[in-house]
Structure formats: C-alpha cells, structure tokens
Amino acid sequence: MKNMQHQFGHRFENGKVTFRVWAPKCKTLDLETKKEPTFRSMQRDEDGWFEITVDDVQHADAYRFCIDGERSRPDPAAHAFESSVHDWNLAVDHAQFDWRSNDWKGIEKRDLIIYELHIGTFTKEGTFLSAIERVDELVELGITAIEILPVAQCPGRWNWGYDGVGIYATQNTYGSPDDFKTFVDACHQKGVAVILDVVFNHLGPEGNYLSEFAPFFTKKRKTPWGDALNFDGKHSQPVREFMAQCGVHWIENYRLDGLRVDAVHFMFDDSDLPISMAVTKAVDDYAATVDRHIHLIGETNVRNASLTKGTSSHGTGFDAVWSDGMMHCVLSIGQPGLDLCHRDHDGATDLQLAIQQGFLYENFPYERHDRGARADLDSFVIGFQNHDTVGNHPLGHRIHQLASREFQMASAALYLMYPAIPMIFMGEEFASDDPFLFFVDFNDSWVRDGVEKGRAAEFPELNAKLDGLSPLSPKSFRQSKLRPHADGDAGMRTWYRDLIGLRKKLRREGLICQSVLNVESRIEDDLFLLHYENQSSGRLSVATRLAWPGSSDKKAAIEIDLPGEILLDSESNGVLKSNQEKSVRQINVNQTLILHDPA
C-alpha cells in the first residue's frame, strides 16, 4: 500500500493513530470518540482529503466522523463496527496480534483443492472461532484451501455477504478482527490456505454512506444492484485506490492466501488499466514483498482470456477465473429444465464441448464458443455446486437431491479428475440434506420490500414454489446451518476423500495434466471419457456415464474397452462383467470407473 498516492482509513504508528478520509463533498469533518466524548476538527486539503493524528485512541476504541457538524457517520474504510452499520467503528491495531504460523509459505496453484464455505452457516455457532473446530475434517478430506464467502460488514444479523457496506471490516456477528486472524492462523498451522471472497462491484443498499463523503458512484452505468462505482469518471482515481487498497488490506493484515473477486464483469471501467487489473496489480505488487503464494481468482463464470495472467495484455491479471460451463451442463442433465443462470446449456451435447474446451461461453456480453479449442485449464476453477447454484434454487437443494446419489458420485469424479482447480461446496462431500437458502436481514422497509420483489422477479417460476419462505425469514438462515458430517452420507465422504487422494498422487506424477489429456465422448451412450497418458506413468482413464435419473427410459449397462486396473469405482459392484484379455467392461448409467494401465 506504500506505493499508492493516498492511504484510506486509520493506522497505528509510534503510539499514535492517524485517520484519513477522502470527503470532497464535506465542508468540515470531525473525529468523534466515544470513550471521552469529544469532537476534533480534521484538517482538509485542496483535494478533499481530511486528516488528523491523535495519541489517545487505543486498539478497540470506538470512533466515527461528524459531517459538517450535522450528522455522524461511520468511517468509509473502517476495519470494525461496534454494532450497527449506521454507527460507531472500532479502531484496530493489526500489529498487536500474535501470529503463530510465521513460517507459512502457502499452497502452490497446481495443488489447490478449494472448499467453499459460509462462516455463518458452517457451524451451529456461526463464528470464526467455531469454524476452527471443523478444519481438521477438511484436512482429512484432502482440502488444501478454504474459500470463504464475503465477511465484510453487512447490515443485520445474517447475510450471504454480498451486501457489505463496510468492505474493509469483518462481520461482527462472526467475531472480531482478531477472531478472523485466529481462524486464518489455525488454518495455516494445519496446512490449509484461506481465500476470501470480496465484492468490489457494488455496496449493499442499507448503511451505504459513501456518497455523502465523495463521488464514489456514477449514474452513467448500472449494475444489477444499482449505480455503478465511479472507476473511470471525474474524480475516479481515489475510488480506484479505495478498492485496490482494500484488496491489499485483506491480504496484508489478515495474511490471507488470496482473493476471489466477485462478478468482475460488473466492475465497469473504460480506463486504459481497468479497475479489475488495477486491483490485481496492487495485490501482485504486495505479493512480491512477501514469501508466500498468493492467488487471485476472478468470478467471470465464463472464459475471459484478457483477465488471466499469461494472456492479459496488461501484464497482470487473475491467476484463475470461475468457469461454470461444465457445472451447468451437468445440472441440465441431472435436472432437465432447471435454469439457475442466464445462459443456455443443453445437456450432454454441451457437456462434451465444455469438457473438451474447459468452458462453453466467453467474454462479456457472453459469446458461445464452440470451436473446440481448449483453454488454459489450470486457470479455471470448476465445481459442480457452489453457493449460487444451491442458493438460487428456491428450496436450496443440492445435486444429490436434484438428481440422485449415484449421479453426484459419478459427476464428482468427472471434475475432481479434471486438470482445472476443483472446488467443493460445503456439505457436498457428505451429501448433506441441509439446504443452503438465500437469506438476508435488513431493517429498512424499502430495502426489505425490494428484496422480496427482486427475488421473485429474478427466478419467477422457481420462487413460486417457495410456499411463503422469504429470504428475510430467520428460518431461511437457521435451516441453512450445516450439520456435522457424521449426520451425512459416510460413503459419499469416503468417495470424495479417495478421489482427492488419487488426484493428488496423479498430479505429483504429472498424469492429471492438460498437456496429456485426450477427451472422448459417446453422446448416444451418455458416456464421457478423460484419457491421460505419459511415458513414465502410463495411461489413466476416467469413464463416466451421466443421465437424468428420472428418465422412464431405463438405460442398460454398456460395454467399454478400457485396459488396466480399476483404481476407483463409484458403485460397490462396478465391474459387472470383466474380460481381462479383451479389457471389456460394463458400466451403468451414473457410474464412474477410473482405470490405470501402467507404462
């Protein structure tokens, strides 16, 4: 952050605290402290920056700002809130935390196996500290990185995290900033990286006071959540710095191993260096000063080569992007007619193309890509469930509920044995029956009404099945709590653990690798095959059949000619007929066989 022109927020240094605020819309700005109620005038420069340095504010002391002597507002770059998003902030001295994992080097990109979770529902207590208790089970599963839904301060008692208004602050219902650091520290001590989901394309609708300080937004463009942030208009440079510094803040002060940047296609910017690239450059510059792996992941949902490192014309960019083409194709097979996104996916026909290419759509606005050219698979994050696909279903149903247990087991092998970075959604590994519903908590009646109407308009047919369960209902949050894995499907968890263990072994041997991958599909048989072959390790084949479990056309087993030893079989009686001499085997619908033929 030292190479940026201005510093937002507050910092402790040499026993004093300096507060800085960009507020060109304000004539005067006073620092107000709660411990000893007093108003101290801040010095304003010609560009609208206010600053004051004091020696009587300590770690965790409450403060806020008074605008023009009329109204009190939270710090736009506060690191913690005392309670409400409308009121006091807490000063945070990050240097006072005692880190234990000082020798942590992180996880290499090629070794990432990501587990996506929501702190508020991952445990019964829904806190940073209680989440530590479940890290060991993730280590046992083989997870190497946890990706946490946003923890920026949102209004209310619960939220997915995408309505943050204190984007530098931790959600106080989860615990304190030190509690979050304790969680990260514990993960690092157990060999697990922590990646944080951050939102730089909008702020939430309640408690968003940035416009009272400065021209943070523009009416020139609209996002699905309202006016876009002012990244390329008049006075946009401080707005760009505000977001870029926020990214570095999370990496530096919480020693995170990466960021997943939400919906980068809505970070509208016509600058020579778009804001998404400015954020990645700021983080890259910081990463160059520390000795650990730091990963930047962009949520594009489709391929966008201009945003990833190695292909970006700007010389910087994301290490990987979310690519959901395979996921939505699989879902369209498992539950025909299910529409959880705004792009078309046509079952097996599109799945064969998505597997071959690694994606189905690219760029924004979206363009279908069907030329067969394979992208850089190592730069894709691919899973078959995530918070959006589960949460955007009106009942929060998961893949085993939409299709079948067998369908999930077979499809899991397809993506966990694929070269891209795999991501598992919390509870997926033991086929949890707990839903993950869409839930928010607002006090503003106008906002509450907007949530109800907006949700119904976004998914009208699906939301008609809600039977009155509102995202604002406490039940939506409580029902989304993830129960212990012991309450789930032990066989499913063993399957995931075995797949992950095999993936790790074969990645080390250089076998699960894009350069040695050959994809084969037999659509008429619902069969998809991944073949990997190199001189030192031989040939690995992943044979998967996927079809809608509810079909009245019960499809018989088919014969496939694949040599080698069966390493894993998603059915306990997977080899129904085996002719070792001819390598002829039978495979059922919604079954996966993984075979290895040594060199």
Catalytic center residues: 262, 299
**What DSSP line would sit under 565-583, residue for residue?**
EEEEESSTT--SSEETTTT
**Which tokens sit at 124?**
């019964």
Map residue 189 onto helix, strand or coil.
Answer: helix
Q: List 558's β-bridge partners, or say none.
A: 587
What residues contact 148, with CB distance under 8 A and at least 6 apart? Answer: 116, 117, 118, 119, 194, 195, 196, 197
Q: List 544's β-bridge partners, or say none.
A: 528, 592
CB 354 within 8 A of CB 326: yes
| Alpha carbon distance 574, 452 (integer Å) | 47
Q: Where are the alpha helices (DSSP H) in 145-258?
A: 177-189, 210-213, 237-253
Residue 289 CB neighbours (<10 A): 8
Q: List 520's β-bridge partners, or say none.
A: 529
What residues contact 230, with CB distance under 8 A and at least 6 apart? Answer: 215, 216, 217, 218, 236, 239
**Which tokens sit at 115?**
């587990």
**What DSSP line would sit under 309-367, residue for residue?**
TTT-TTS--BSEEEE-HHHHHHHHHHSTT---SSS---HHHHHHHHHHHS-SEETTTTE
| Alpha carbon distance 317, 452 (integer Å) | 37
| Alpha carbon distance 396, 432 (integer Å) | 11
CB 299 within 8 A of CB 263: yes
SS3 sequence of 90-158:
ECCCHHHCCCCCCCCCCCCHHHCCEEEECHHHHCCCCCHHHHHCCHHHHHHHCCCEEEECCCEECCCCC
DSSP letter assigned to residue 272 = S
Map residue 457 onto helix, strand or coil.
Answer: helix
Q: List 308's β-bridge partners, or say none.
A: 318
| Alpha carbon distance 164, 152 (integer Å) | 5
| Alpha carbon distance 110, 104 (integer Å) | 17
Positions at the binding site = 260-265, 324-328, 387-392
